[in-house]
Chains A and B, each alone.
Chain A
Amino acid sequence: KNQVEQSPQSLIILEGKNCTLQCNYTVSPFSNLRWYKQDTGRGPVSLTIMTFSENTKSNGRYTATLDADTKQSSLHITASQLSDSASYICVVSASHAGGSYIPTFGRGTSLIVHP
């Protein structure tokens, strides 16, 4: 069964500090891994996407890493801002015949940045 586990479940940090969110998965056959940011009352928005051959991808203050051997990913947020307060969701997709992809979602990490 394909699963995506995220940790921590929730995190509170002070503005300006760095933090790292973790994602472990058992999805096969692996196609790609994405991190989404979901603000309250909105749909998820893609931050990064990585395929099997990529082990790091940056998007501004967000840096995602992928270790396909251990099936782990992390999302590092540098110099956090109040606007970073959101739910961060790890999504891992398995490839299927015909080119379709079925994503498996983690439960998300709820990040709160305090001033």
Chain B
Amino acid sequence: EAGVTQFPSHSVIEKGQTVTLRCDPISGHDNLYWYRRVMGKEIKFLLHFVKESKQDESGMPNNRFLAERTGGTYSTLKVQPAELEDSGVYFCASSPVGQGISAGANVLTFGAGSRLTVL
């Protein structure tokens, strides 16, 4: 079974530019999450999709961040325009929908992350 795939693994851009990160979840996982880890700090939740719908986007820092999941498959996270404080590692995770922990729900499988460096 293929895992969660993220692209690119590392992106270096200048302040003001645009970057789009992509996440391919495990096939059949309806839940898709985006997280961000800024250096020296904890991983923080950004948003949660259930299929193509945004279930919770309370963690999105501001309107420079736009996440989409057209068709309920892969997801993109666009940062436009990028600022210095956006630098960090962006993780994507997916999980199946189920009834409670025993069904495997809420056991997130993470991708390797996309490291974003804004200069």
Is the interface on chain B under 10, 10 to 19, 20 to 34, or 35 or more residues? 20 to 34
Q: What's the Cα separation between A101 and B105 when bound, in Å?
A: 9
Q: Chain B nearest CB: distance from A109 CB in Å?
A: 12
| Interface flags, B81-106, vs A, CB<8A=1, else 0 | 00000000001010000010100011
Interface 9-mer from B12-20, B62-70, B72-80, B107-115: B107-115
Query: Please, which residues of chain B bring their CB within 8 A of the CB of A108?
Result: 42
Question: Contacts A43-B111, A44-B110, A46-B107 given: A102-B45 contact, CB under 8 Å?
Answer: yes
Q: Chain B nearest CB: distance from A35 CB in Å?
A: 12
Contact (Cβ within 8 A) B42 A107: yes
- Confirm or deny: B48 has a beta carbon within 8 angstroms of a beta carbon on chain A: yes
Contact (Cβ within 8 A) A93 B106: yes
Query: Please, which residues of chain A bring their CB within 8 A of the CB of B45?
Result: 102-105
| Partner among B43, B55, B99, B112 whose Cβ is within 8 Å of the Cβ of A100 | B55
CB interface residues, A 81-115, toward B, < 8 Å: 89, 93, 96, 98-108
Interface residues of A (CB under 8 A from B): 4, 31-32, 34, 36, 41-46, 49, 51, 89, 93, 96, 98-108
